Amino acid sequence: MHTAPISVSGPEDTNSFWIDAPAHRDWLAAQALRQFDFFRASVNPDGGFYVLDYSGNPLPSRLQELHSTTRMIHSFALGHLAGVPDCLEIIDHGMRYLASHHLDPVHGGYVWGVTEDTPTDTRKLAYGHVFVLLAASSAKMAGHPAGDALIRSITDLLEQHYWEEDHSLFADEWNQDWTPFSDYRGMNANMHGTEALLAAYEATGDGRYLDKAGRILDFFIHRQAAENDWRIPEHYRADWSVDRAYSGNPMFRPAGTTPGHSLEFARLALQHWDLAGRKDQSLPEKARAIAERALMDAWGPKDGGIFYTLNFDGTPAIRDRYWWPVTEGIGVLASLIKLDRRPSDEAWYRKLWQFAGAHFMDAANGGWFPEIDADGRPTARQFDGKPDIYHALQATVFPLASGLSHQAKTLPKLV
């Protein structure tokens, strides 16, 4: 399958910066609105959300995973904050499904997967639970009445079952009844935990969320990245020593390092630095070092795109190219450009948008294709349909935000 590329709008002048140009900003706003238009069809009238095929029709599978539910809530909350009409109904739809289907009424916490009305994957994963905190925080900022109570309850649950005070990090996974089934520890849940904690701080003003996010960042940015040539190891043992031999699910827990996560974590580090008062003058250069290392290691030298995983020496491991690392690269580069107008950052920012327009963005139907093959064409080896709005939406709104955050205080109106 091959579609015509989307034309990426921005000035040709190489001495200017696209995020300052009205034409590019209008283009970003239009692309964000296309995302909302496409994913409105995700709403399942019987509860929860469909996964959509390339054309925007529901796929047959009725499995609803926790991160999909919560990311839809978060994304449409961003839409409401940006003035997009008719988002509150979708936020409420997701919040009700979260409480009626994912919430475990017997043991507490949230099960990972639900099919129809039946929990079919009852694991209690930190990765999913931090997304509940993100959804609750964004819903509160959008004015949803259940946001405050959900923030309080999920905060208590994260503190009770996941937060390891001695390490200042989140543990990963439990059975449904909170008995352990592994001693795995991982970067990914903590990265999204940082994202959620920052959103909770913005929603509540409670400095404890900002403090916890800073402690997580201290471990991964100031220690792990700095000690590993600005690459961040993904996998750890129970004592939080790096497990370089770990190789789990090749999609969700692949061996080695994941450059897309480095790009995402670098942006979150800048967001925390900004919210904490910009006190550590070394942080922007550390975030830059992480982002530049990921791009230099992982950008395909022949055809472009970002390789999914790397070996510990930075050589490519899994050469598959997905949409979400490109979106995360756009996000961190937009933040770096806001801080310091460097032409090298602008060149990367344009290159990533041009690659996205040529290979991932669907000009005909809307949404982004999640993966491309060796010829740069959409393929479906790992993903069915177009998985979610979350990554691609944020790539369009982060550059538009007036600051390094993306919540109520800095988001512009899209309409």
Active site members: 261, 391
Crossing angle (nearest 10°) for helices 259-275 and 323-339:
30
- Collapsing DSSP to helix, strand or coil, 64 comes out as strand
| Per-residue buried b or exposed e for 351-380, using 16+ beta carbons within 10 Å of the residue's own CB | bbbbbbbbbbbbeebbbbbbbbeeebebbe
- Collapsing DSSP to helix, strand or coil, 372 comes out as strand
Name, in order, each residue with C-beta under 8 angstroms of 299's C-beta and a sequence gap of 6 or more: 305, 306, 307
Could you give the CA distance from residue 210 to residue 234 in angstroms, rounded to a whole number?
23
| Per-residue buried b or exposed e for 383-407, using 16+ beta carbons within 10 Å of the residue's own CB | bebbbbbbbbbbbbbbbbbeebbbb
The DSSP call for residue 18 is G
Could you give the CA distance from residue 2 to residue 361 in angstroms, rounded to a whole number?
11
Chain mean position to CA 222: 21
Written as six digits, the tokens of 216 are 């997580």
Backbone φ, ψ for residue 172 (5° rounding): -105, -50
Which among 391, 364, 365, 362 has a CA at the least distance from the CA of 378?
A: 362
* Single-letter code of the amino acid located at 142: A
Could you give the CA distance from residue 277 to residue 350 in angstroms, rounded to a whole number?
30
Name, in order, each residue with C-beta under 8 angstroms of 16's C-beta and a sequence gap of 6 or more: none
Which among 12, 84, 52, 1 has a CA at the least distance from the CA of 393?
A: 84
Could you give the CA distance from residue 138 to residue 120 in angstroms, rounded to a whole number?
27
Written as six digits, the tokens of 211 are 């403090």
Which among 260, 252, 338 has a CA at the least distance from the CA of 298?
A: 260
